[in-house]
Amino acid sequence: MSRVGYASYYKKRTGMMNDGCAVFVRKCKFDVVSYRIVEYFVAAGTSMDRDQIGQILRLLIINGDFNIEPLSYIYTYITESSVYLRGLPRNELSGQGASGGPCVQADNILPSAAKIGRDSMFIDEKAPRKAVDRDFFTHPLRLASVYHHFNENGEKEVSTYHKDVANPDFIFYSIEKKKADDMATQVYEVPELRLLRRLGLPGLTILRKTLGPWPNRYVPSDHIPLVADFILTKTS
Bond before 70 cis per omega within 30 degrees: no
Q: Are residues 117 and 196 in the same domain?
A: no
Q: Are residues 97 and 26 in the same domain?
A: no
Q: Are residues 146 and 214 in the same domain?
A: yes
Find the helix or strand (DSSP H, E) in which 231 lies. Answer: strand 228-232
pLDDT for residue 192? 87
Q: Are residues 91 and 205 in the same domain?
A: no
| 204 Cβ neighbours under 8 A, 6+ residues apart | 155, 156, 158, 161, 165
pLDDT for residue 205? 94
pLDDT for residue 146? 95
Q: Are residues 207 and 154 in the same domain?
A: yes
Which residues are bridge partners to 103 per DSSP? 89
Distance CA 76, CA 94 (A): 10
Interval 212-227: pLDDT, tens: 899 998 888 889 889 9
pLDDT for residue 170? 94
Does this model's pTM top 0.75? My answer is no
Q: Are residues 54 and 149 in the same domain?
A: no
- Compute the Cα dihedral for 57, 58, 61, 62 and give only its sign: positive
Q: Are residues 125 and 106 in the same domain?
A: yes
Distance CA 87, CA 102 (A): 9
Q: Are residues 109 and 213 in the same domain?
A: no
193-206: average pLDDT: 94
Whether 34 has a pLDDT exceeding 90, the answer reads no
Domain assignment of residue 130, given as a range: 85-137
pLDDT for residue 40? 86
Distance CA 85, CA 87 (A): 6
pLDDT for residue 173? 93
How many Cβ atoms are within 10 Å of 222's Cβ, its own excluded? 15
Q: Are residues 133 and 150 in the same domain?
A: no
Q: Are residues 1 and 20 in the same domain?
A: yes
Whether 72 has a pLDDT exceeding 90, the answer reads yes
Q: Are residues 102 and 197 in the same domain?
A: no
pLDDT for residue 59? 63
pLDDT for residue 73? 93
**Domains identified in the chain, total number:** 3
In terms of Cβ atoms closer than 10 Å to its own Cβ (0-12, 13-18, 19+), residue 104 is: buried
